[in-house]
Structure 1
């Protein structure tokens, strides 16, 4: 096989190479050795050429025939298999360089979301590890085709830029995993949210007032390019959400996927993910109340995200979330 030949040139050692050296040392030919260990000459020849693997049974036979412990043969086979697959994966990833270019590389560069993103030798593996998928095909099946649609009734194929949208969504999943929170009964969570709505309204009113005060003083925060941003009002919202069993997350969106908010139940916990650089604080709070409306009013099997086609039924849900947001924005005395 071509891969095995390349590995031999590359430096990987197969069990067959060690066996060949041992047979020369013992001055035993293949036919004689095969008879000694109970295998056919054909099988031994295949082993010498790395065309068959050392099994546990064979390893014990080789130990009796050569004096080399069975675990050595098994370890040799394991290492050789790993080397072989490493080379195969490396070849496959080289063919996937084009796939990497579909992602918003320019905007991802200054961010620290994808570890080792600028690896010059391998620019694909860091993205696969970020998404937790084994291949570009697996990414496509999960985010672009069937898996999300089956689990959450959506497909990013309908977004303006599914690659950028998937990065933003995945960033939210990673942030959500970093927040430790016990699962609660969804009815209790929704009930707690409804009771806490006056607190959300008061927080929104005070936060917008503080924001406008900063605007008048020309002291609005200026997040650095690539940094994760969260100010005092956003932090207070996060804390209030946590008390009620909601994870509120912030992640900068992408120009090609200008998503302002998303609501979903992730691992049975309600999650609201918001863009972290709203210039209009009223828009920030409307988006939050809109996503909160989805959590309160709609099912756990839905993900609500901008620019995804939901069909007429889910459009009605979006309208209901808008009405929910309008109600509480009005109570806070905020413009929509």
Structure 2
């Protein structure tokens, strides 16, 4: 018999032993009547060997107890043994559980609420599509390797009051992937993306959910699944770009900071990765990665797509409200995008033209 917490696994052999006592039959005699070795009978009685269908029918003849009883008993015993094994394994996974932002996930509705940590672990395994949480660092190796390499590099800026958690980042990206799987995109065509860029930019003029939905639809037609995933603590992520297959790309945005101009810059930043860089790479746009060479390249492309250099030079000469609005009309982009760029270039202070800046209204 094996007991673990509330799970009890009693081998059918216990009942065989009781039946032998009732019949006053020795184990040696029982073995002869079963036409089996004493060693095999000992293993069956101790639960070390299973009762097969043949053995169950022999037990019915020798002990007078139906074969169906023994088959059912054996199945239940093996099931409970497996439950004990799983419960013990799940307990080992609790050390990993503490690294995963499961409380935030519950609040956001990403996994079901449950007070039992064992059940939470089961829900997380379904979320990540893994048999055990212990292999997350393997299945999500690109994320873990990315941050391991980043910490060794000269540009890593982690401070004592800012902690990046690889498990949180893996969670955020997995949520994005799970949402993207449900989006039935057209086959990716770079030419179509280029064709749609002016229309995409024009959508920035109206800060509404409808504009976001239209942007998602344009992306879908281009072969890109665009998803908005709420920011998670310890990620500091603005966006991620990756390929989910040969003809389908993923862009995920967190809307961290909630500024409308940041939303559009981050979108075109991730679009730049999809248009320009390797399909084998995972591109994470977060505070800790902002100065890497490949991210700078995506930054420059995003800046140019939103505000061409000719238009930028013009507005830099006279960054007045009137000129900003005029430039906004000419480029068909929201004025907050121009204000944000001027602030980034330190042409105007961050306190200027607050009336032209907007937070995301979704």
| Fold-level similarity (TM above 0.5) | yes
Task: Give the aligned partner of residue 236 of structure 2.
Answer: 258
* Alpha-carbon distance in 1 for matches of 2:186, 2:73: 46
* Alpha-carbon distance in 2 for matches of 1:290, 1:11: 56
TM alignment of 1:36-115, pairs within 5 A: 36-55=33-52, 58-59=55-56, 61-62=58-59, 65-66=62-63, 72-104=69-101, 107-115=104-112
Q: Secondary structure at the match of 1:306?
A: strand
The structure-2 alpha-carbon separation of the partners of 1:73 and 1:199, relative to structure 1 and needing over 3 Å to count, comes to farther
Task: Give the aligned partner of residue 203 of structure 1.
Answer: 203
Q: Greater relative contact order (Cα 8 A, min sep 6): structure 1 or 2?
A: 1
* Alpha-carbon distance in 1 for matches of 2:239, 2:68: 55
The equivalent position to 2:211 in structure 1, one of 204, 221, 233, is: 233
The structure-2 alpha-carbon separation of the partners of 1:273 and 1:69, relative to structure 1 and needing over 3 Å to count, comes to farther
**1:242 and 1:248 in contact (8 A); partners too:** yes
The equivalent position to 2:282 in structure 1, one of 298, 303, 324, is: 303
* Alpha-carbon distance in 2 for matches of 1:9, 1:120: 15
**1:156 and 1:165 in contact (8 A); partners too:** no
- Across the two proteins, how many residue pairs are aligned to each other? 298
Task: Give the aligned partner of residue 162 of structure 1.
Answer: 166
Let me know the Cα RMSD of the aligned residues: 3.3
Task: Give the aligned partner of residue 227 of structure 1.
Answer: none
Higher Cα Rg: structure 1 or 2?
2
The equivalent position to 2:224 in structure 1, one of 233, 237, 246, is: 246
* Alpha-carbon distance in 2 for matches of 1:307, 1:75: 56
Q: Deviations over 1:185-237 (max 9, x none)?
A: x5xx2232122222212223x23xx47xxxxxxxxxxxxxxxxxxx2222221
Stretches of structure 2 that go unaligned for 5 or more consecutive residues are: 152-163, 309-330, 342-362
Q: Deviations over 1:131-170 (max 9, x none)?
A: 2222231123223xxxx33xx8954545821121111111
Following superposition, the deviation at residue 175 of structure 1 comes to 1.1
The equivalent position to 1:320 in structure 2, one of 272, 297, 302, is: 297
Task: Give the aligned partner of residue 173 of structure 1.
Answer: 177
Stretches of structure 1 that go unaligned for 5 or more consecutive residues are: 212-230
* Alpha-carbon distance in 2 for matches of 1:71, 1:307: 61
**2:96 and 2:134 in contact (8 A); partners too:** no
Following superposition, the deviation at residue 57 of structure 1 comes to 5.2
* Alpha-carbon distance in 2 for matches of 1:135, 1:153: 17
TM-score by length of 2: 0.70
TM-score by length of 1: 0.75
Q: Secondary structure at the match of 2:237?
A: coil
Task: Give the aligned partner of residue 226 of structure 1.
Answer: none
Q: Deviations over 1:228-283 (max 9, x none)?
A: xxx22222211211222211111111232111100111244211111145422111
Following superposition, the deviation at residue 107 of structure 1 comes to 3.6
